[in-house]
Amino acid sequence: MDCAASSLGPQRTSTGRAGKERTRQALIISVRLPRLCFGIGCDVTRLMNRVPTFGLSASSPSCSMVLPKMVETEDSSFWADAEWSAALLALIGHPLGGVHLPGAPGPVRDHWLERLTELSGQPRLRKIPANIPEGRLLGGIDLGATLQHGKPIAETGLLGECDGQIVVAAMAERLPRNTVHHLCSALDHGQIIVARDAVEANVAARLTLVAQDEGTGDEWLHGALADRLGITLDMTELGIHDVEDEHFTPRLVERARALLDDIHLTDAQMATLTSLALSLGIDSPRAALAAIKVARGCGAGWRDNGCRA
């Protein structure tokens, strides 16, 4: 059984048992660590000093022996990580980018998506199919309205329709490069530039993306897109019997959202998260920034619901 929720999303480097183990180790900087860092006020610097981490990378042989000592918490079940991930995604939204979901479809993933829908307050999660035409994704000219009014009338694409919402990219490992480019632009800037079919416009597209990565072998989520998703949640080895009681409610998420702007990390806490990421060979600045956002979200959730992280 292996589930990890990470604010420092990994790159898939190889396949097979060894590759899966490296992926698991790279995912170990999870929502648990930010909860230790801020959510329950733990001194992570002191915690790190208990075991040597300098020079360790995600593939170091001793890495898996060191890290569990650093991330163990009173509520450290695998499903608790999944619950925290859903709550954080609903709480932080677009600034966090989204979540990378590697693995095949199944009842556990379906249940987690239902929990995310419930916590987000959305009636449903819109889906972006891998083969979506660019005109439907971005929008363009509305032919009927243009003929009616005698001038170019723009039609809003799916990205614009989903402004401020959580969306699901099905089979994200098969997304074409142009779709990946437009999604990255929306995640970076909260808008897309539409310049096609005689229509030029800046369209708001503050998305929170759930990337379902069902790739095997040589297929995996594009690195540029994975780098922009603040959480990686691997539920590959979880069965439906591992699903536990609910840890959060929509009301708790709303109350935590009211506290989020008042939650701040100290310079020492931010430096600790960054140093730990570098020691594991994770050098993306986006990953460290995402870890800080996750820590702030955990702080808001901890203050609000009083649950033991």
Alpha-carbon span 271 to 279, nearest angstrom = 12
Quick one: pLDDT at residue 233? 87
Identify the CA nearest to 102 among candidates 233, 272, 243: 233
Alpha-carbon span 99 to 90, nearest angstrom = 11
Between 43 and 153, residue with greater pLDDT = 153
User: Same domain, yes or no, for 276 and 304?
Assistant: yes
User: Same domain, yes or no, for 54 and 112?
Assistant: no
Per the structure, the count of domains in the chain is 2
Residue 15 lies in a domain: no
Residue 235 lies in a domain: no
Residue 278 lies in a domain: yes
- What value, to the nearest 5°, has the Cα angle with vertex 283 and ends 282 and 284? 105
Identify the CA nearest to 87 among candidates 127, 128, 34, 9: 34
User: Same domain, yes or no, for 271 and 302?
Assistant: yes
Residue 243 lies in a domain: no
User: Same domain, yes or no, for 225 and 112?
Assistant: yes
Residue 238 lies in a domain: no
Quick one: pLDDT at residue 263? 86
- How close are the terminal C-alpha atoms of the chain, in Å? 21
Alpha-carbon span 79 to 188, nearest angstrom = 30
User: Same domain, yes or no, for 78 and 102?
Assistant: no
Q: Which residues pair with 282 in a beta bridge?
A: none
User: Same domain, yes or no, for 145 and 64?
Assistant: no
Residue 236 lies in a domain: no
Quick one: pLDDT at residue 197? 67
Residue 17 lies in a domain: no
User: Same domain, yes or no, for 112 and 182?
Assistant: yes
Tell me the pTM.
0.77
Question: Which of 198, 229, 260 is at the close of a domain?
Answer: 229
pLDDT tens profile 168-202: 999 999 999 999 999 999 999 999 988 776 677 78
User: Same domain, yes or no, for 287 and 211?
Assistant: no
User: Same domain, yes or no, for 41 and 118?
Assistant: no
Question: Which of 194, 229, 264 is at the close of a domain?
Answer: 229
In this prediction, residue 301 has a pLDDT band, given cuts at 50, 70 and 90, of low
In this prediction, residue 96 has a pLDDT band, given cuts at 50, 70 and 90, of very high
pLDDT for residue 74 is more than 70: no
Quick one: pLDDT at residue 181? 95
Query: Are 294 and 59 contacting, i.e. CB atoms less than 8 angstroms apart?
Result: no
Question: Which of 199, 229, 259 is at the close of a domain?
Answer: 229
CATH at residue 213: 3.40.50.300
Interval 96-104 mean pLDDT: 91
Residue 296 is part of which domain span?
A: 1-7+22-92+248-309
User: Same domain, yes or no, for 107 and 224?
Assistant: yes
User: Same domain, yes or no, for 68 and 117?
Assistant: no
Residue 239 lies in a domain: no
Interval 216-238 mean pLDDT: 87
User: Same domain, yes or no, for 69 and 108?
Assistant: no
